[in-house]
Amino acid sequence: MTIVKTIEEVRAQVRAWRAQGLTVGLVPTMGYLHEGHQSLIARSVAENDRTVVSDFVNPIQFGPTEDLATYPRDIARDAALCEATGADLIFHPEADEMYAPDFCTYVDMDRLTGGLCGKTRPTHFRGVCTVVSKLFHIVQPDRAYFGQKDAQQLAVIRRMVRDLNMPLEIIGCPIVREADGLAKSSRNTYLNEAERQAALCLSRGLAKGKAAVEAGETDAAKVRAVIAGEIEAEPLSRIDYVELVDWNTLEPVDSTEGSILAAVAVYIGKTRLIDNFIIER
């Protein structure tokens, strides 16, 4: 496995693979990898001849008061996980390799991004779409892999690829959880012991909401109330949102019939965590 820091190095390697007729998978990440990322890498390794992992904390998807400076980074640890899982190349650029000093071109979307995380992070998805679009142009993969934990991101990237006729397949992969149910996240490292225990209210609330749906509840407002009630019972929690939306359009729904995303964002202390489940009826 090789670690490269420049766009031209990535392109040169991909050209060599293409000359051999090999397929290429891409796993875009912001580093500090965990078992959730590892599951994406393993899927790419299984489905492609070569796998590229991008390891880049993207500055333009962070708001001015968000955790860019403190976001965890450990490229040596990341490289060990990638190599053990079978990745072939890590693209680990500096910010100035991805963005020139006078950079002024962005990829934006006027639907799918206004609700859920977009309500409180209004520039976030412009940053995500821009960096992911750049990575697709740099690597030109056959397939790219994203986790369902970031469900809105997955929906947004799928729509961007469709709308802009990008020649690749987007593969969504299941949420990977800790043994006690907490969704794997690089931001879990911010939690102290009490907060880590409190964070289980997200998965508990979603589990109760899912159980209500499976028991026959079709009123989205009632399912939302079940989820919110469990989270609000935790003193260290502060809800950003609890929403049920159409999984394709991300528009709010009144009924749980169809393809529905139940998603939550919750502050545990100062740490913002997200989680979700998908209903198919």
Cβ-based neighbours of 49, under 8 Å, separated by 6 or more: 17, 22, 23, 24
What secondary structure, in 3-state letters, does the chain show?
CEEECCHHHHHHHHHHHHHCCCCEEEEEECCCCCHHHHHHHHHHHHHCCEEEEEECCCHHHCCCCCCCCCCCCCHHHHHHHHHHHCCCEEECCCHHHHCCCCCCCCCCCCCCCCCCHHHHCCCHHHHHHHHHHHHHHHHCCCEEEEEHHHHHHHHHHHHHHHHCCCCCEEEEECCCECCCCCECCHHHHHCCHHHHHHCHHHHHHHHHHHHHHHCCCCEHHHHHHHHHHHHHCCCCEEEEEEEEEECCCCCECCECCCEEEEEEEEEECCEEEEEEEEEEC
Angle, helices 7-19 vs 124-139, to 10°: value is 50
> Could you give the C-alpha distances from 200 to 122, 196, 268, in angstroms and in order?
27, 7, 10
Is 37 marked active-site? yes
Degrees (nearest 5) of the Cα angle 193, 261, 131? Answer: 75
Catalytic residue among 37, 92, 124, 137: 37
Active site positions, annotated:
37
